[in-house]
Amino acid sequence: MKVIISGGGTGGHIYPAIAIANELKRLDPNTDILFVGAEGKMEMEKVPRAGYRIEGLPVVGIKRELTLANLAFPLKLGRSLLRARQIVRDFKPDVAVGVGGYASGPTLLAAALANVPILIQEQNSFAGLTNKVLARWAKRICVAYPGMDAFFPAAKIKLTGNPVRSDIQLADQQLDAGRAQFGLQPNVPTLLVIGGSQGARTLNESMEAGLSQLKQAGIQVIWQTGTAFIDRARKAVAQAGASQIQPHEFIYEMDKAYAVADAVVSRAGALSVSELCIVGRPAILVPLPTAAEDHQTHNAMALVNRDAALLVNDRDARQTLIAEARRLLSDLQQRKTLSEHIKQLAFPSAAVDIAQEVILLTSRNKVV
């Protein structure tokens, strides 16, 4: 079985793609998998580290504001389509999987034109433009939220949830290891702040503004800042004398970070939301307001409307986020309620279910 998996740009696209690939290899170790990503994006480094081959396309996104960079978009899109068609011709896949991101569109279109069955994995509760366009050619569309027939043909939809890494699913077993890893005190409230793989300016500036509050409350904090903010965060923590607050440029062992967290502050990207559902941690979500189609707000509201998470608007976060986090950490009953409700939205078998749909498409294609 030969499978192309395409997409990337952020960890929210890359890690689910790798989880699907790992599951396909587990089900059939002879599966031949080729990733297709966008040149210069993080998948070109993350995918080989996970042990898979990847080809790059020169595709770029189109900017929402008027900019000269948009003039290059049609040219790079055309070159990407030609390159994607060549990759499909050379690799001869039995099925192509798109997980979202710049490279997904040209690759899946090239596969469809070559009569290769395609599967779309839509991670958000509000479908992106590329996936809505590609849906006409898709044989199966795996989604993470109910009600996606508002965007896609109902007959093609399979509710699977979003795949998360296997270690995240075992996070509850890592409490002692997590405390040792981060040097935390037991019986002291612990807040985890994560803004995605590249950090989040609003969350970082909210933390910076609230350092004295957190110090006064005696709250332990694991704070993922991203590369751009780490030096500023370390300096601010040192000036505040808040040694119980730990800035980290990037957290590689997220299972341990989730294990020790009594509450989490996070953006509302699809992967982050899916991981929070799996680990069942009470969360305050701060959606990125500039996300395409405002999908992070839709993701967050899917939880908020089920009393499974709290929401703080990005525009209010610098003034209210830390106070809300302190309040949540002091309210054991609300944390218990949020935890119980968010766990009900988890899809622990998402990677398995999607991999089985891929195999099913391959089998049908061979029968035809």
Q: Which residues are annotated as a binding site for UDP-N-acetyl-alpha-D-glucosamine?
A: 10-12, 124, 165, 197, 251, 270-275, 296
Please list, in sequence order, all residues whose beta carbon lies within 8 angstroms of the beta carbon of residue 190, skipping any fewer than 6 positions away. Answer: 184, 219, 220, 221, 222, 260, 261, 262
CB atoms within 10 A of CB 31: 19
**Helix and strand numbers, DSSP H then E, in the chain:** 16, 13
- Residue 361 has phi, psi (to 5 degrees) of -65, -40
Please list, in sequence order, all residues whose beta carbon lies within 8 angstroms of the beta carbon of residue 108, skipping any fewer than 6 positions away. Answer: 6, 96, 98, 118, 120, 134, 137, 138
Task: Taking the CA atoms of 184, 185, 187 and 193 in sequence, report the sign of the dihedral they define.
Answer: negative
Q: According to DSSP H, which parts of the chain are helical?
A: 11-27, 43-49, 73-91, 104-113, 129-134, 166-169, 175-182, 201-209, 211-217, 230-240, 254-260, 270-279, 295-304, 317-329, 332-343, 350-367
- Residue 38 has phi, psi (to 5 degrees) of -105, 130
Residues making up the binding site:
10-12, 124, 165, 197, 251, 270-275, 296
Query: From the CA atom positions of the chain, what is the Rg in Å?
Result: 21
